[in-house]
Structure 1
Amino acid sequence: MSVPAQPTSRDRRRWAQYLVDERAEAQVYRDLAARRDGEEREILVALADAEGRHEAHWLRLLGGEPARLPRPDPRTVLLGWMAKRFGSIFVLALAQNAEGRSPYETEPFATPTMAADEKIHHEVVRGLAARGRRRLSGTFRAAVFGANDGLVSNLALIMGIGATGAAPQFVLFSGIAGLLAGALSMGAGEFVSVRSQRELLDATEPNDYADEALPDLDLDANELALVYRTRGMPLPEALERARRVVSAAQDGSPLTRGSLDAPADHEVVGGAWSAAVSSFLFFASGAIIPVLPWMFGLSGLAAVITALVLVGIALMATGAMVGLLSGGPPLRRALRQLLIGYGAAAVTYGLGWVFGVSLG
């Protein structure tokens, strides 16, 4: 990349913008680090220090601190505000997107090292965001998707019933019935799913059924190694483990109890009842929104438009959250969620209108 011999005033304004943006990004990482501890804190502090080195580069080119500086990028300002108050996975997801927009690859006055740094920063922040996503409980994920299911299904139901020309009271009762039916179905399905998963996992857990036979096994030719091989252990390691366990058993070591392996921790699956209640409430929280206009006495076109607006806002909010959690563009995900929800409502509205005309 060739560097212009003489920088212009436009170049200097651009450097000043880079300077304030680097400072703002470094502060975001410091604010996030203040809300973390251990290794994550160290990583975030190191990122802030790296942004500080980039800041020093632009200061050198500018010949010192300019008398007037531009405002930081509004997206970086928003990140800083969120980092101070929340310090959540959403901030890291937004920071990941910000690092992916670095202009240094095409900036003639940025060094190749700076451009490479920004690419690495993107991957580092992606890794931190991935840690946060993995720590998110299934309950939070179920909240987003359960509420979205309630929004779309009940909006579609109400639009279809409303298009037939049914009375407002009938639309209201249909919406409430749809809410209860859907929420109960979600809760029952989640209960069965989690209970079945726990039962399957329990059936795969090692136990001490054969522990009492360990002292009688042949130390050199025992079949305990086969047990470990069924669990994915390589042959040499399985043989060594089997010899160690049998030897300890024959010596009367406490290792004999449960020595075929400790039961796995499957608590990450969660409880069946808590999953069922959570799914019920999450679905209901979304499904109640399309019904609100009719609950407050609206009817006809006014109720339909109000329901569409309320559901549209909620759909965009859940879509944006899904985008943030997945590391994708929040606005694109929000618009996709909106189109899907409105598309389903449009189909059922059209069907309801057809049935209403044919019945009329």
Structure 2
Amino acid sequence: MSSPAVPTAADRRRWARYLVDERAEARVYRELATRRDGEERDILLALAEAEGRHEAHWLELLDGEPERLPHRGFGAVLLAWMARRFGSIFVLALAQNAESRSPYDDEPYATAQMAADEKVHSEVVRGLAARGRRRLSGSFRAAVFGANDGLVSNLALVLGIGATGVAPQFVLFSGIAGLLAGALSMGAGEYVSVRSQRELLDSTEPSSAADAVLPDLDIDANELALVYRARGLTEEEALARAERALRSAHSEDGPHRDRLDAEASDHEVVGGAFAAASSSFLFFASGAIIPVLPWLFGMSGLAAVGLALLMVGLALLATGAAVGLLSGAPPLRRGIRQLAIGFGAAAVTYVLGLVFGVSMG
């Protein structure tokens, strides 16, 4: 990139902002590195080193450390605080979003190498965040989605019932009934789903029943290779593995680790059905109780409706933002989308409640 001949005061202010941002990003990567080890730690430290080179570029243009620097933005401060306290997947997801918004493509004073670095950094952080997402327990995703289901379904229920003009006690009873019905349904469905999945996986596990007959197999015919080919290996791989297993079976030292059942493929790890059912019950109930709280504490009418909408709205924003972070999407946009969906469902049932209330009146 070619630089303008004479930098202006606005240029120098922009450089100072870049300097502050590069230092903030390097600090986040170093903080994250203290909570990692091995390859991930080395990658994070290398990212911090690269940000240091960018920092040096702006310092050179500024002729050294300026007397005054702009304050770090709220996002940078929050990211650094989270990196120090948590070092979690959420920090990497936020850093991924930050790296994808590099201003250097249109910056005349940034080098082409710096612009390329930022694009590469975005992919590196995306890869690190993807590792974290893969390691992240499914229980967290279940918590977010279960709580969100409880929020939306029970808010729609209590607003629809309340709009008919029934007594507050009936609204409270309907909300509690909706909480229990939904949570029990979620728990039962999760139990059946996990049990069915475990039974399906059990039925696909290789059997060790043929281990005892390995020494009696014809080495030349080597029918054992057919077993491995049936499990998905190529003909060459199956023959090599079968020969190894048979040599082990005919060894004077007895069979070793190349038993028939030692080659079982890895299956997805599935948790216990009861634990999954309990978690689903609790996650749904934790969301479903929120819309009921105003009536539970004796409120009624528009005041109860307004407070329920406020609390559920904040919770929907939070769950939507969490899902956005986990998926690498902008958290605010996902939070607003979740809010719109939840309030849209509640609005439909509220209007229906008004219609039924008028017709019954």
TM interval, short-chain normalised:
over 0.9
Percent identical residues: 76
Matched with 2:330 is 329
Query: 1:263: how far off?
Result: 4.8
Query: Contact conserved, 1:198 with 1:266, CA < 8 A, in 2?
Result: no
One-letter amino acid of the counterpart of residue 356, structure 1: G
Q: Which amino acid counterpart does residue 140 of structure 1 have in structure 2?
A: F
Q: Report what 1:244 is aligned to.
A: 244
Paired positions, count: 360
Q: What is the CA–CA distance in structure 2 between the aligned matches of 1:93 and 1:264, rounded to whole Å?
A: 32
**Separation in 2, partners of 1:322, 1:355:** 36
Aligned partner letter, 1:357: V
- Report the counterpart of residue 191 of structure 1 in structure 2: 191
| Structure 1 position 258, deviation (Å) | 3.9
Provide TM-score, normalisation by structure 1.
0.97
Deviations 1:184-206 (A, max 9, x none): 11011111111111111111111
The one-letter code sitting in structure 1 at the alignment partner of 2:310 is V
The answer on whether the counterparts of 1:156 and 1:345 sit within 8 Å (CA) in structure 2 is: yes
**What SS does the corresponding residue of 2:260 show, helix, strand or coil?**
coil
Instruction: Spell out the pairing of 1:173-212 with structure 2 (5 A cutoff).
Output: 173-212=173-212
Give the distance between the partners of 1:338 and 1:124, measured in 2 at CA: 32
Deviation at 1:151, TM superposition (A): 0.3
Kindly provide the amino acid, as one letter, of the partner of residue 18 in structure 2.
Y
- Alignment deviations for residues 26-64 of structure 1 (CA, whole Å, 9 cap, x no partner): 011111111111211111111100000000111111111
Q: Deviations over 1:245-281 (max 9, x none)?
A: 1222122532378434355565721111111111000
CA contact (8 A) 1:211 1:256 kept: no
Q: CA–CA distance in 2 between the matches of 1:81 and 1:243?
A: 57
Aligned residue identity for 2:334: R
Q: 1:124 matched to which residue of 2?
A: 124
* 1:145 maps to 2:184: no
**Which stretches in structure 1 are left out of the alignment for 5+ residues?**
none
Is the Cα–Cα contact under 8 Å of residues 214 and 256 in structure 1 kept in the other structure? no
Residue 24 of structure 1 and its aligned partner are, at CA, apart by 1.0
Q: Deviations over 1:201-255 (max 9, x none)?
A: 1111112111122112121222211111122111111111111212221225323
Alpha carbons 2:248, 2:258 under 8 Å: kept: no
In structure 2, relative to structure 1, the CA distance for the partners of 1:241 and 1:263 (3 Å cut) is: closer
Offset of residue 111 of structure 1: 0.6
Amino acid in structure 2 at the alignment position of 1:248: S
Between stretches 347-356 and 115-124, larger displacement belongs to 347-356
1:278–1:4 CA distance, 2 compared to 1 (3 A)? same
Structure 1 SS opposite 2:221: coil
Quote how far apart the aligned CAs of 1:72 are: 2.1
1:54 and 1:257 map into 2 onto residues whose CA distance is 54
Q: 2-side partners of 1:124 and 1:257: how far apart? A: 39
Distance 1:256 1:214, change over 3 A: farther
Superposition TM-score, scaled by structure 2 size:
0.96
Q: What is the SS of the residue equivalent to 1:178?
A: helix
Structure 2 residue aligned with 1:315? 316
**Runs of 4+ more than 4 Å apart:** 262-267
Instruction: Tell me if 1:29 matches 2:16.
Output: no
How many angstroms apart in 1 are the aligned matches of 2:283 and 2:269? 20
Alignment of 1:32-43 (within 5 A): 32-43=32-43
Q: Which amino acid aligns with 1:341?
A: G
Q: Counterpart of 1:286 in structure 2: which amino acid?
A: G
RMSD: 1.4
Residue 277 of structure 2 aligns to which amino acid in structure 1? A
Measure the CA separation in 1 of the matches of 2:269 and 2:82: 29
- Evaluate the alpha carbon distance shift between residue 220 and residue 256 of structure 1 in structure 2; reply closer, same or farther with a 3 A threshold: farther
Amino acid at match of 2:296: M
Report Cα offsets for 1:133-182 as digits up to 9, x if no partner: 11111111100000000000101111111111111101100000000010
Aligned partners of 1:229, 1:109: CA distance in 2, in Å? 60
